[in-house]
Amino acid sequence: MLSPQLAVKASKLEEIIKDLQSVAVAFSGGVDSGLLAAVSHKILGNQAVAITGRSHSFPTRELEAARELAGNLGLKHLEVDSEELDLPGFSDNPPNRCYLCKHELFSKINELARLQGLKAVVEASNIDDEGDFRPGMTAIKELGVVSPLRLAGLNKAEVRLLSKEMGLPTWDKPSFACLASRFPYGEPITPDRLDKVDQAETFLLGLGLRQVRVRFHSQGDLARIETDEDGLTILMTPANRQAVRNYFRELGFIYSTVDLGGYNSGSMNLTLPMAARQAALKKTGA
Verify that 27 and 157 share a domain, yes or no: yes
The reply to whether 105 and 241 lie within a common domain is no
Question: Quick one: pLDDT at residue 264?
Answer: 79
Q: 217 and 122 in one domain?
A: no
Q: Which of 172, 188, 216 is the last residue in one of the domains? A: 172
Is the same domain home to 229 and 150? no
Shared domain check, 198 and 163: no
The pLDDT of residue 269 is 62
Nearest C-alpha neighbor of 252 from the set 199, 207, 212: 199
Q: Determine the pLDDT at residue 268.
A: 64
Residue among 184, 185, 215, 213 nearest 201 (CA): 213
Q: What is the pLDDT of residue 275?
A: 45
Find the domain containing 205 and state its range: 179-264
User: Which residue among 147, 172, 197 closes a domain?
Assistant: 172
Q: What is the pLDDT along the chain (286 residues), one digit of tens a residue?
A: 899 999 999 999 999 999 999 999 999 999 999 999 999 999 999 999 999 999 999 999 999 999 999 999 999 999 999 989 999 999 999 999 999 999 999 999 999 999 999 999 999 999 998 866 678 899 999 999 999 999 999 999 999 999 999 999 999 999 999 999 999 999 999 999 999 999 999 999 999 999 999 999 988 899 999 999 999 999 999 999 999 999 999 999 999 999 999 987 766 666 655 444 455 445 555 5
Q: Is residue 28 part of a domain?
A: yes
Please tell me the total count of domains within the chain: 2
Q: Is 128 exposed, middle or buried (0-12, 13-18, 19+ CB in 10 A)?
A: middle
286 domain-assigned = no
* 168, 82: one domain: yes
Let me know whether 156 and 198 are in one domain: no
DSSP of the chain, one letter per residue? ---HHHHHHHHHHHHHHHHH-SEEEE--SSHHHHHHHHHHHHHHGGGEEEEEEE-TTS-HHHHHHHHHHHHHHT-EEEEEE--GGGSTTGGG--TTHHHHHHHHHHHHHHHHHHHTT-SEEE----GGGGGS--THHHHHHHTT-B-HHHHTT--HHHHHHHHHHTT-GGGGPPP---GGGGS-TTS---HHHHHHHHHHHHHHHHTT--SEEEEEEGGGTEEEEEE-HHHHHHHTSHHHHHHHHHHHHHHT-SEEEE-TT---TTGGGGGS-HHHHHHHHHHHT-
Helices 238-251 and 191-206 pack at an angle, to 10 degrees, of 160
End residue of a domain, out of 145, 172, 199: 172
We report the CATH number of the domain holding residue 195 as 3.30.70
> According to the model, what pLDDT value does residue 218 have?
81
pTM of the model: 0.89
Indicate if 34 and 106 belong to the same structural domain: yes
